[in-house]
Amino acid sequence: MPGALSNFLMKNSIGTTGAMPVIHTTNAYAGKKIIQGDLIKPSRCDVFGEDLTYLFYGRPSYKKTGDAQIAHYWELPALFVMDYDKIAYKRIFPFDTGAFEGERYPSFINMMPLEEFEVTGALEAPTAGQCVLRRS
């Protein structure tokens, strides 16, 4: 059953455009392991209680809320950019679900339960699966 956000988007769609890429962000150390193994391995998700790989549609965006949110220079952030159409998905949300569960969003966002924001069943949503990185 679609959530409130999915219902709103279906009723207020203004048309489709070409798909943007999906992005996986990590630190350089983990990025090197991904390149060597040709695989982005899922890790344990505290929100859903299962092993998942997180991807951003388009580009990741973090709101600066102090030094704790800024990557230190030695972490050397790495990005893996993949074709949207070549990835299969399990769940789709319009924001960081960990930040939602940690109540880091304004109260008008957190007043709704997380499942109301899921858009996996929306008309343009992808299907379930896993993410694999292949070198070109």
Residue 80 lies in a domain: yes
* Assigned domain for 113 exists: yes
Give, for 131, the enclosing helix (H) or strand (E): none
* Spatial contact of 57 and 94, defined as CB atoms under 8 Å apart: no
Residue 18: name the closest of 83, 112, 107 by CA.
83
Q: Does 3 reside within a domain?
A: no
Burial classification of residue 62, based on how many CB atoms lie within 10 Å of its CB (0-12 exposed, 13-18 middle, 19 or more buried): exposed
State the total domains in the chain: 1
Q: Is the pTM of this model over 0.95?
A: no
pLDDT, tens digit, 9 for 90 and up, residues 31-45: 888 888 888 888 888
In a domain, residue 5? The reply is: no
Over residues 108-120, the pLDDT tens digits come to: 889 999 998 888 7
Q: Does a structural domain hold residue 28?
A: yes
